[in-house]
Amino acid sequence: MALGVFLGSLFGALALGVPIAFALILSGVALMFMMGSLDSQIIAQNLINGANNFALMAIPFFILAGELMNAGGISKRVVNFAMTLVGHIRGGLGYVAIIASVLFAGLSGSAVADTAALGAILIPMMIAKGYNKGQSTGLIASAGIIAPVIPPSIPMIIFGVVSGVSITKLFMGGIVPGILMATGLVVVWTIMSRRDKSELPKRKSTKEILVAIRETSWALMLPVIIIGGIRGGIFTPTEASVVAVFYALFVGMVVYRELKVKELYNVFLASAKTTSVVMFVAAAAMVSAWLITVAQVPMDMANMLGPLIDKPMLLMLLITLLILAIGLVMDLTPAILIFTPVLIPVVKMAGIDPVYFGIVMVINLCIGLITPPVGTVLYVGCGISKIGILELTRGIWPFLLVHVIVLILLVLFPAIVTVPLEWFM
């Protein structure tokens, strides 16, 4: 009953065009009506407590760090570094896109930011070289969703806060799956680029490679500092986000000298706008999360899935299909905030590692970012390359298939996450 009231009110509000944050609050109010205990103070208290969370402070700082990196010239140096290494290979710009996305994933933690920053640089270059516009944009969009998987990851921070799972473990557990996703893209692009007959650029000299390494070394040190600092216990993920901001500011203004003081206002303003949306949704989700617990919605879900509790792999497969369907119609952050409180108790009852589940859930919902009709990253790619959604969908399907295969492998072989995680931790 409670599960039906929650989902019915939530999706009913969304169908009417109510913004996701207000729809979450309304679904919480609907649960209150069902329980006969409407109290506006509970809503206000949970709304405030939802934003008043130390771990969530990492989100605005990582968003700000990403904006500073774009404005400070770090993005283009990462692309130049990848170009120096593999630009001379057949289909080289595709490999540049994949390598640059992996490197930038260790800097931004946002799929949209990764795709927008690298797409603006690489898509015009790929089109000018005669690459298929739909496939080129599809590759960059598919590589962009690796950003929320490799640490630092904003979605994993949100999942960790909602579920109570260690954000540090989530960060460390995402490294191998992220590399696996990138490897799959390399394999597919290698097959596709055999048809590339364009003239190959000259291989860079050793001197040029060393110059590119020197210029990019400051940018490449940031992921090392973040991952090394967290793993070594030097700072928490939240403190790592502050370090990332200070480092990006220092590199942009002092080392590269491309970030000017007069540009900081626009950087802070863009970061504040993005942060306000994410934080408001997170705060609203805490209202519904608290009421979901009080109304025993997880118990309703557990009763529904009861026959599968003793079959964790089958249960995981069913939940994966459910989340995959949710990702088609709902954006990444709201989906994590809404369904994590419902599913995590069931996952724990089945003996599934919640860290492993969180990583699979994030990857699953990241796939939704490049699938119509709600794929946010898909529309970012369309905006940059000036192509229609149908053309991009036709170009992206081979890369989308690779990510789905990786997701299936993670469901069938949890050791892909759990074994490396033990070593990293």
Where do the structural domains in the chain lie, given as residue ranges?
2-424
List, in sequence order, every beta strand (DSSP E) within 309-421.
Answer: none
Q: Which has more pLDDT, 404 or 113?
A: 404
- Predicted local distance difference test score (pLDDT) of residue 196: 66
Both tokens assigned to 21:
């944050």
Among candidate residues 422, 421, 343, 423, the one with its CA nearest the CA of residue 174: 421
- Predicted local distance difference test score (pLDDT) of residue 18: 83
pLDDT tens, residue by residue, 51-68: 777 777 888 888 888 788
Q: 344 in helix, strand or coil?
A: helix
Instruction: Name residue, tokens 């797409």.
Output: 119
pLDDT tens, residue by residue, 375-393: 788 888 888 888 888 888 8
pLDDT tens, residue by residue, 357-366: 999 999 999 9
> Which run of H or of E encompasses 166?
none
Contact in structure between 108 and 284 (CB atoms under 8 Å): no
Among 39-43, 158-162, 180-184, 420-424, the minimum mean pLDDT is found in: 39-43
DSSP state of 262: G
**Is pLDDT of 322 > 80?**
yes
- Predicted local distance difference test score (pLDDT) of residue 120: 81
Let me know the angle formed at the C-alpha of 68 by 64 and 71, rounded to the nearest 5 degrees. Answer: 140
pLDDT tens, residue by residue, 104-138: 887 777 888 788 878 888 888 888 878 888 888 99
Give the Å distances, CA to CA, from 320 to 5, 161, 312, 325.
23, 21, 12, 9
Among 23-27, 51-55, 83-87, 247-251, the minimum mean pLDDT is found in: 51-55
Among candidate residues 359, 394, 389, 391, the one with its CA nearest the CA of residue 374: 389
List, in sequence order, every beta strand (DSSP E) within 326-399.
Answer: none
- Rounded CA separation 326/368 (Å): 8
Q: Could you tell me the pLDDT band of residue 412, with boundaries at 50, 70 and 90? A: very high
Q: Per-residue pLDDT averaged across 229-238, rounded?
A: 82
- Predicted local distance difference test score (pLDDT) of residue 174: 92
Among 43-57, 93-107, 252-266, the minimum mean pLDDT is found in: 43-57
pLDDT tens, residue by residue, 12-50: 887 888 887 888 888 888 888 887 777 778 788 878 877
Q: Per-residue pLDDT averaged across 65-73, rounded?
A: 81
Q: Per-residue pLDDT averaged across 411-425, rounded?
A: 87
Contact in structure between 282 and 56 (CB atoms under 8 Å): yes
Among candidate residues 141, 178, 183, 186, the one with its CA nearest the CA of residue 156: 178
pTM across the whole model: 0.85
CB atoms within 10 A of CB 362: 26
- Predicted local distance difference test score (pLDDT) of residue 199: 64
**In whole numbers, what is the pLDDT of the chain averaged over residues?**
84
Among candidate residues 288, 333, 236, the one with its CA nearest the CA of residue 49: 288
Residues above pLDDT 90, as percent of the chain: 19
Both tokens assigned to 376:
């946010």
Q: Per-residue pLDDT averaged across 269-291, rounded?
A: 82
Contact in structure between 413 and 402 (CB atoms under 8 Å): no
